[in-house]
Amino acid sequence: MQQKRIQHRPRYIAFVAASIDGHISLSSKRPPHWTSKEDWEFFQKSLLRIDAVVVGRNTYESVSKRLRKRNTFVLSSRLKTLFRRGIVTFVNPKKAKLSKLLEGYKSVAVLGGGAVYQFMLDNKLLDEIFVTIEPFLFGRGREMFIGGKRTTRASLLSIRRLNQSGTLLLHYQINPVRSPIRKGKSADTLGA
């Protein structure tokens, strides 16, 4: 009798560097060069334990050299069909089942941008999120999550101060439970 190989769901972990006001970049075409060396060191050590990464097209274009040796999945709504270039897979998430493509991996890093974080959250493909808060107020720029339609609860696992400048590393578990927000109530009125 032939045994069927069981595919395990990967652990999806998002890594985000943000300003105090929740912006991840001033431009969609350039990676953040304003993050601390402590955040960079944490991020690089974390990626050593990751099997694959998921990024948006703009993020990929700005950091592709840094991802050369990684199994990378680039999400783009502009693509008509999935195609591969070496260990990089370009995919339109509306036309392919991303979770199926990622089945063979144990851990997947989600590296942004905002539409990618939102897509992964909306499709229950986020288990944890590390948010590094850098001590800047941009007042403009790319938001951490873009286009969300529902509220998702997260549980704080840890807070770590990375340096004397005030850089904080927040680690959250994304809970699969539904939001307690009921019809007619907004998030602003809960607990008030």
Q: Would 1 be classed as within a structural domain? A: no
User: Is 52 part of any domain?
Assistant: yes
Instruction: Tell me the pLDDT tens digit for each residue of 105-146.
Output: 999 999 999 999 999 999 999 999 999 999 999 999 989 999
∠144-154-57 over CA atoms, to 5°?
Answer: 30
The total number of structural domains that make up the chain: 1
Does 182 fall in a domain? no
User: For the residues 154-175, what does the mean pLDDT come to?
Assistant: 96
Task: Report if residue 107 sits inside a domain.
Answer: yes
**Domain span including residue 100:** 11-25+34-174
Q: Does residue 190 lie in a domain region?
A: no
User: Tens of pLDDT along 69-98?
Assistant: 899 999 999 999 999 999 999 999 999 999
DSSP secondary structure of 2-68: PPPPPPPPPEEEEEEEEETTSEEES-TTS----S-HHHHHHHHHHHTT-SEEEEEHHHHHHHGGGGT
Residue 187 lies in a domain: no
> Which CATH number characterizes residue 64's domain?
3.40.430.10
Structural domain contains residue 136? yes
Q: Are 109 and 13 in contact (CB under 8 A)?
A: yes
- Say if 51 falls within a structural domain: yes
| The pLDDT value given to residue 182 | 45
